[in-house]
Chain A
Amino acid sequence: MLVMKNINKIFQTADIQTHALRDFCLQVNEGDFVSVTGPSGSGKTTFLNIAGLLETFTNGEFLLDGEEVGQLNDDGRSRMRNQKIGFIFQGFNLIPDLNLYDNVDVPLRYRGFNAKERKRRIEESLERVGLASRMKHLPSQLSGGQQQRVAIARALATSPRFLLADEPTGNLDSEMAQGVMTLLEEINQQGTTIIMVTHDAQLAQRAKRTIQVKDGRVSELEKVTPIMNQAIA
């Protein structure tokens, strides 16, 4: 469970203060699939970075799985990212010098699993995204959609409680995007909580819950009816 209460994030440069998040409040329950939308510059990415423990916040309260995140030091945050959070990035962020197997291995190494356990998890998660047969390939030999599947496999390999996805389909064509979305939905059905940032309203609709970030604040959106949805499209 993720709880944010009155989170503020202020970027301080020499003469300008930027309020990226203002009294940001959000609760995400176990098993939820939340999509976060908003115009660019609204604070989506800042929210994601803070939710994913990639960045610290200025003040407020943030509980992740019952643990007070504000209290953690850098190493503690690293550990928590490694154990509880899986990331999917817009640009896939695969390591180009490593093959698929080794790419999925990266977070497992930091977790400190033994070789046998790692091998099991890598094969299992690549199996799950349908790329087990290509584990010796390099990322550059795959299509964008396939690369993103590897990234998802990497995120899943550590069996995280939360999956944070940053525009996971942003670099993909619609057919591939649909595939990735379907995969995410499957993962969510199997119990992993997913928070997905996207600017694609149509994709956002496929989440169980949609929130909008505007000027650093949250506003919950009602589920739009399919008819209206079509009207918009």
Chain B
Amino acid sequence: MLETGLILRALARNKIGAMLIALQIALTMAIMVNAIFMIQDRQQQMKRASGLDEANTFYLTNTIFGQDYNIISHLQTDLNMIRNTPGVVDAIQINAVPLSGSGWSMALQHQPGEDQDAVGSAIYMVDEHALNSLGLELIAGTNFSQADVEIRKDGQSTWPAKTIITKAFAENLYPDDWQSAIGKTVYISQNQPLQIIGVIKAMQAPWNGWNGVERSMLVPFHREAKGGYYFIRTEPGQRDALMPIIEKALAESDKERIIRRVTTVEETRKRSYQQQNATNKILMTVVITLTLITGFGIVGLAIFSINRRTKQIGTRRALGATKGQIMRYFMMENFLISCVGILIGSVGAVALNMWLVNSFNLSPISFELVAFGVVALFIVGQLAVLYPARKAALIPPATATRTI
């Protein structure tokens, strides 16, 4: 039995009520689809690997305030002490930490000169222990040797001769064949040559929102500076126990500096993506409440319209409609209203997305997501109308002969 025509004609007599539901469905769909899209977008961002052994690493800041302080000799002592602590895999001095939000960047170019195009990259100043300490995977070329490591004074403008870069950076510099990067000379600071000796699988820049976040380079430097990080990798499971031990050992070995901000990389990741996480939770709440409001709105309106049509439904029953047919009538009615709503909603979802793309640099929405929204809202509508429709089906046919 297809009553579509009859239902449509009955709806046409109550256009406003039906349009209100349809518009609600449309807006809900537009918002839902875009919110889910933004959630997915952020989730993808958060899923990107930093390249580090995140579970077993931590770092701390070392701020020197003592005057006439021999930074380099203390650095050696500190690193030896940390590296020899049982449970520690390796440790380095570093100038910045991935995802931490603050760091250094430099640009590399293929040819020397002022007017050459250069590609920006995060720069990490480390020694030959870096790969082991950070948990990086060298996929081509070689590591630095101890002899490569130079001392860098504050304000120094010259750079070492060698560098190790990430695969993403190599692909950017040599789009045809990233492996050809090994052994090539590039230029830093416009005209200083730098030889690429190795490529690592991944290491993110300190800034998670930067579009070049996968581009990083390592240079062999020990910094003679008053502030810096020690970055430490431990045996699995030992990190939390070792954090206070190393902090205490460093603080007590030397009173002319402050050890602060002992932080795990996991914590850094969490902080780095705190905003994304928060926004996602809010968007999720919006999607859920919105769906509930629309769902309950449909329930409320359906119950009300069924209450008003009690006699009519009784009459239909008297004229031979089965319970199933009555239920189907209301399900069908909802389906037809949903169709209009979802049609408008699909257009609305794309329009809203276009606006978001223009105003907030979002990427365009995928067809699958719109399809998902279509299915989801049909289900929401049908579920919402299920209870009222059952209520309608239970109206006794004898209602028809009642004179009220």
Contacts and interface: CB of A to CB of B under 8 A. Distances in A.
A adjacent to B, CB under 8 Å: yes
A49 B401 contact: yes
Interface string A51-74: 011110000000000000000001
B86 interface: no
Given A78-B321, A110-B1, A87 B6 contact: no
A98 B10 contact: yes
B320 A111 contact: yes
Contacts of B319: 81-82, 87, 106-107, 110, 154
A75 interface: yes
Nearest to B324: A75
A221 interface: no
Nearest to A90: B403
Contact of B321 (A52, A110, A154): A110
Contacts of A102: 6, 9
Interface string B266-307: 000000000000000000000000000000000000000000
B262 interface: no
B339 interface: no
Interface residues of B, number: 27
Contacts of A90: 401, 403
A89 B400 contact: yes
Interface residues of A, number: 36
B322 A79 contact: yes
B195 interface: no
A107 B13 contact: no
A48 B323 contact: no
Contact of A79 (B3, B6, B320, B403): B320
A89 B403 CA distance: 9
Q: Which of A105, A110, A138 has the most CB of B within 10 A?
A: A110
B14 A97 contact: yes
B311 interface: yes
Contacts of A75: 322-324
Interface string B322-356: 11110000000000000000000000000000000
Q: Which of B14, B398, B401 has the most CB of A within 10 A?
A: B401
Contacts of B323: 74-75, 78
A75 B315 CA distance: 15
A79 B315 CA distance: 14
B16 to A, nearest CB: 13
Contact of A55 (B312, B316, B324, B396): B396
A90 B318 CA distance: 14
Contact of B396 (A54, A83, A110): A54
Nearest to B315: A93
B320 A97 contact: no
18 contacts: A53-B397, A54-B397, A54-B398, A54-B401, A78-B321, A78-B323, A79-B320, A82-B320, A89-B315, A89-B401, A90-B403, A91-B311, A93-B314, A93-B400, A98-B13, A106-B6, A110-B1, A111-B320
Given A78-B317, A93-B400, 18 more contacts: A48-B401, A54-B317, A54-B398, A55-B397, A75-B323, A78-B322, A79-B322, A81-B397, A89-B401, A90-B403, A93-B315, A95-B10, A97-B14, A99-B9, A106-B6, A109-B3, A111-B320, A158-B320
